[in-house]
Every structure is written in C-alpha cells, then in structure tokens.
Amino acid sequence: METLLRLFSPPPAITTVKFLVSSPTPRPNNTSSRKSRYRIQSSKFGSFLDLNPESTQPECLNFDLPWFDPASARPQFDVIIIGTGPAGLRLAEQLSRYGIKGLGLEDCFDKTWPMSCVYVNENKTKYLNRPYGRVSRKKLKTELIERCVSSGVIKFHKAKVWKIEHQEFLSSILCDDGNELKASLIVDASGFASTFTEYDKPRNHGYQIAHGILAEVDGHPFDLDKMVLMDWRDSHLGNEPYLRVSNSRLPTFLYAMPFDSSLIFLEETSLVSRPVLSYMEVKRRMVARLRHLGITVKRVLEDEKCLIPMGGPLPRIPQSVMAIGGTSGVVHPSTGYMVARTMALAPVLADAIAECLGSTRMVRGKPLHHRVWNGLWPIERRYTREFYSFGMETLLKLDLNGTRRFFDAFFDLDPYFWQGFLSSRLSLQELVLLSLSLFGRASNPSRFDIVTKCPVPLAKLMGNLALETI
C-alpha cells in the first residue's frame, strides 16, 4: 500500500505511502506549547500570568522527509491521511508497517510517577496504586515520524486541503497549492474542528477546558513520588466569594506533576461543562489556588490551553471519509482522554484498511467505507461509548459536593473497574457491574444525587442504545 501524509502546522502537509496524511488550517482547540521568558511586573493578577511566552514559534523537528513531488509522480494513492498529529502519524505508521504492533511508548515519557493521588476535599485523600506518566509531545512525534520515514512507503505533502470530492471507487482532495490528489480512501485526522467528517445529529458536546504551565517555582507542597490526578479542595477560594460560589456550581480541579522540588507541571481543569466554562475563570481560580498553596512561579517554561469537546454523537456511520482522532468520536466522553485511546485504535483501523486495500480483491467504494467505519466502531464499542457518555451527562449535573461524593465512591471501587473505566477497556456488562457497585458504595447523599439527577441521562442512554440497535 502507498500512503500520502498531508502536513499542516506550521504550514499544512500531507503524507503519502500510498497513504497520504494531511492537516487542515490551525484550530482554536489546538493545544499550544511555548517557551517563555522570566519577567516580573505588577498586574491585577500578581501571578504567573505576568510571565509571557518568549516565542510563539513551534519547536522544529529536524527530519529529511520524503516529500511528494506532483511533477514527477502520479498523484494517486491507496490512502490519503489529512493531518499529522498523533492520530494521523500513528495510523500512517501502522499502515506502512502493517503487521507490526505496539509503539513502545516507554521511550516517549518525560517522567513517570509510581503512584497518584486524589484530594477529595480538605480532609480526605485517596492514594491510587497505579503509575502515571507524562508523554513528551516532541518524543512522541519524533518516534512516529521516524517510523513513517523508515518504512520507505510514506511521502509528505505540505498544503491545505480545501475540498474533498468522491466518485464511486475513488476520492480526491483539492489543495491550496493547486494540486489534486486521488486515493481509494481519505482519512480525516485533522482534529475536532474539521468540516470533512459529517454528522447527522446535533453535536451537543460537553467541553473540558484547562490552563496548564510547566513552571520553575520556589517550592511546592506535593510529594515527588506521586502525581496529583485530581485536587478538588476549595479552601483557596475562602477570600474569593465570587469564585467560591461559581466553583461550587461548576467545579474545577488541579492536576499536578512534580518533576522535582522546583519544577512542576500544574493545570487547572474543568472536567466537563456545557456551555464551556470561561477560560479566564479557569485562570483566575488557578491564580487563587497557587497563591493559597504558597507556590511562587519564577519561570513559565511551557504554557498550555486545552479545549476538548467530549461526548456528543458519533459521526455518520458509514460515510465516504474515514476519521481517526478527535473528529472520530474516540475522545473518552467522561474524562477527555484521547491520545492513548487513539494509539490503541489506530492499529485496529489499519487492520481494517489493509484487509480491504491490501487484498487481491481490492475492496473499494461503499463496501470499503462500511468495513473501515465498522472496524473502528463495531456495535459493542458504540454501546460502551454511550455508557461513557451517560457518565459525562451525569457529571454535568453534579455540583462540587456531588462531584466529590462521586469520586469518593468511584475510587473505592475495585481497581479493575475504575482503571478500566478511565482507559475505556470495560465491556458493556462490566460497565453495568461498575454502576451497581458504585451505587452500593455511594453515600446516601450521593445515592440521592443519582436517583434525582440521573433519570434524564439514563433515558437518553436507553434511547441512544435503542437507536444503535435498529
């Protein structure tokens, strides 16, 4: 198989193996990572918000990429992948090296922590006997690109995709550089804001929004051997009556990764809200929290803004454009986790594609679209996603105290269940058992929350499951 990859950011591009990978124009929900200069000045925040990034240019990776030359090559491929984020590169790597499973992500970690913890409130902390790691975006992208390049069957093309057109057995993309490229299958890996993947239901997403910094600090109160998965404490808002009231209604938590006593990644996160919580509100709460914890930021090495649509309907299945990554519905509806899930599902999609385009029969057109979409979203996986979406809809109805009670009971479950839920590994039957166990372990106020606030999400779950069955 030959693939073309189209890369977009900085300028968009495409990869070809007889696979093409391409990426669209920059999106507002993109996570940015930038170095910043240590600068102290007075402001109304009196905080790390005064430390401005020293450069807005993305870090360059030095690769001798095999570029597609329209003048000397026939612009037709087996697969064109639009987007060169983790989803597009991972799928291209799997297609080009079909049969090789596993990425070896251990080499892509910045750091790992042997344990994690959850601060339920000021008086209760849960310690989770499970390691946690921070993936280096640079190492991950380098690893994926190196694997794509070493295969010898992928080419890259730098342009923007303006339009996709379909015929019975062939599709084509029109690029802003004037080139028209054709393939048996177009894969959209360009992210949440893509207009290439179609939906036939309203996209009623919940939204996770967060502001994070990798910072050099004078000191911090966190244990170096534990990653803080969630900190739901709100004592830092004692002198901020407006923030405290809004946080009680739409809570945020702190996520902390201590590298050493003076280097730490800190992120204030709204787990899910609809409509999305104000980004400035999130930053103000983070300022108050760090001030209360006695954390003085000296330098901001990286800053990060995340806006992740969660839940909502799946794309129309099947359709002429295949999707992977954010636009395909693989984001965990209750947690916002996506990268690990995409890494795991890309080989599944690659298998389905290779079974069609790598066979002597060369399955194309509607049969190809049907197989690849149902390879990524078989009926069982659609059912479990509806259940995770039910979890998101329930969380949307909980205030701070309800959220604390929920996670207090959730992390008391057998680790098999809560770990499986967070990593999307549970079957539908196991999710039902999790729900029953959660209700049994919950406090009476939490059970009251479930009884009074879950009927509408439950009715929506049952209705969606019925529609999937038809």
Q: What confidence tens digit (pLDDT) does each residue in 176-187 have?
A: 999 999 999 999
pLDDT > 50? residue 36 = no
Specify the pLDDT at position 4.
Answer: 64
Mean pLDDT calculated for residue range 264-281: 96
CA–CA distance, 38 with 301 (Å, rounded to integer): 9
Q: What confidence tens digit (pLDDT) does each residue in 434-456 have?
A: 999 999 999 999 888 888 877 77
Specify the pLDDT at position 76.
Answer: 81
Q: What confidence tens digit (pLDDT) does each residue in 392-424 have?
A: 999 999 999 999 999 999 999 999 999 999 999
pLDDT > 80? residue 102 = no
Specify the pLDDT at position 3.
Answer: 66
What does pTM read for this prediction? 0.85
| Fold for the domain defined by 2-26+58-104+133-201+316-377 | FAD/NAD(P)-binding domain (3.50.50)
219 Cβ contact list (under 8 Å, min separation 6): 261, 262, 294, 295, 296
Specify the pLDDT at position 469.
Answer: 67
Q: How is the chain split into domains, by residue range? A: 2-26+58-104+133-201+316-377, 381-469
3-state secondary structure 219-246: CCCCCCCEEEEEECCCHHHCCCHHHHHH
28 confidence band (pLDDT: 50, 70, 90): very low
362 confidence band (pLDDT: 50, 70, 90): confident
Strand-pairing partners, residue 253, are: 269
Instruction: Out of 103-107, 158-162, 273-277, 283-287, pick the least confident.
Output: 103-107
pLDDT > 60? residue 132 = yes
More confidently predicted of 201 and 73: 201
460 confidence band (pLDDT: 50, 70, 90): confident
70 confidence band (pLDDT: 50, 70, 90): confident
Specify the pLDDT at position 39.
Answer: 33
More confidently predicted of 360 and 410: 410
